[in-house]
Structures are given as structure tokens and as C-alpha cells.
Amino acid sequence: MLPRLPRAVVFDMDGLILDSEILYRKSVISAATEKGLPIGPSIYEAMMGQPWPGIAQLMTDHYGEDFDPDAFRTVWIDHFDRLIATELKLKAGVTALLDTLDRHGIPRAICTSSAHHQVRHHLEGFGLLPRFDHVIAQGDYARGKPAPDPYLAAAERLGVAPEDCLALEDSHNGIRSAAAAGMMAVMVPDLLAPTDEIVALCARVAGSLDECCAFFTEPLAAERA
């Protein structure tokens, strides 16, 4: 199953808890189309799991020094907000896994590249915010994913050694971040399939969050006691 019993769980948000990565992709494509910018998988797939500064640099490198990423971001957010209002859904297994963690008294945190106000807005809409002990978001770390800083900050906030934390991620950059922090990284793929590099960094690749409930069975709970 896993190399050791997790003492805490750290969740990514977009593409893992929320079915939002598809909405980010749809909105960046529609925003780019509105602005007459060519865009393809090499751009929007590389954005996944990155904070805004990394995305801005990625787009500037692609479109040239005359590109204004902040102006584009305004258009992109408008497209995204319209999709969020009508199409945002939870990923399968979220509630079941949180219920499992509740039964075993396992603390958990969000670790995301999104801003705190986005986390509050999206999770409060589903009544999920109170179910997490901590939120690590933009502004809580020096370097974003794929650097280990976000996951190290989550472990510190939880008061659990990184190697005893289970990190759940859907993106390549997120897995790189969690693995670099020394956590047991499990990928639950969303839009991106794991590459050989990513599989080597993972403790496991799971088909869904429902599948992750098996990490916390009664025998494991007995071991915890």
C-alpha cells in the first residue's frame, strides 16, 4: 500500500478536490482565442500546479517580452469565473476520503498554488472548508510548486514530519513538490497521465480518491493505536 502509516494528509485542491483544472484549461484557451493568441498543450499543461509568477514567466517566454501577462490574466479570470459559477464540481471520492480521515482522527491540510480567497470561495461553496485543519496557499511560502516549500510549510503547520505525511496530487509539478519535501506522494491523475519520471517519484498512483480510502483501513488504525 504505502511505505508507512500516514500521520497526516496534505491535499492539493484544483484537479484533486475540485474538478477545476478542466475549467482552467477551457478558460485559458477561450481567453487566448479572444486575444488572438495561439495556444496549445505545451502552454496550458505546463501551467498546471504552478503559482501565478511561474505561469506569467511561462507565457512571457512563449509569447515574447512585449506580452503583458497581467493584462491577459484579467481576461482569463473573467472567463474562468463565468465557468466556475455554473460548472464547478467536486471530484469523485472527496467526501468519502474526508469521512475516512474523520473516523481515524487524521489531521489534514490544503496545499495549493491558488490564493486564499479562491480556496475560501470554492470550498465554502461545497461546505468543505471546516473539514481541513489548515490551508497553505499563495503567500505562505517563498517558492511555489515544483519547489518543496509549499509542502514543507504544510508539514510544519500540521506539526508532523514530512516523511509521515501523505501528499495527494494530480499534477506533475505537485508531485515533484511533494516528493522533494520528502512526503509519500500519491498521484490521482486528472488531465495529465503520470510519466516515467513522475511514477518514480510516487509512492503510488491511484485511480481516484475513493481508492485512497484503502490507505486507512481498520488494521492501519490499530497500528496507529
* Cβ-Cβ contacts under 8 Å for 126 (sequence gap 6 or more): 90
Give the span between the Cα atoms of 1 and 50, in whole angstroms.
Answer: 29
Given a contact cutoff of 8 angstroms between Cβ atoms, the answer to whether 132 and 108 are in contact is yes
- Is 190 among the residues known to form the active site? no
Give the ranges where the chain is alpha helix by DSSP (H).
Answer: 21-34, 41-47, 52-63, 69-87, 94-104, 116-125, 149-158, 172-180, 196-201, 209-212, 218-224
- Is 140 among the residues known to form the active site? no
- Which 3 state secondary structure label does DSSP give 5? coil
Give the span between the Cα atoms of 18 and 90, in whole angstroms.
Answer: 5
For cell 485542491, name the residue.
13
Peptide bond into 146 cis (omega under 30): yes
Q: In the structure grid, which three cell numbers stand for residue 3, read together? A: 511505505
Q: Which residues are catalytic?
A: 12, 14
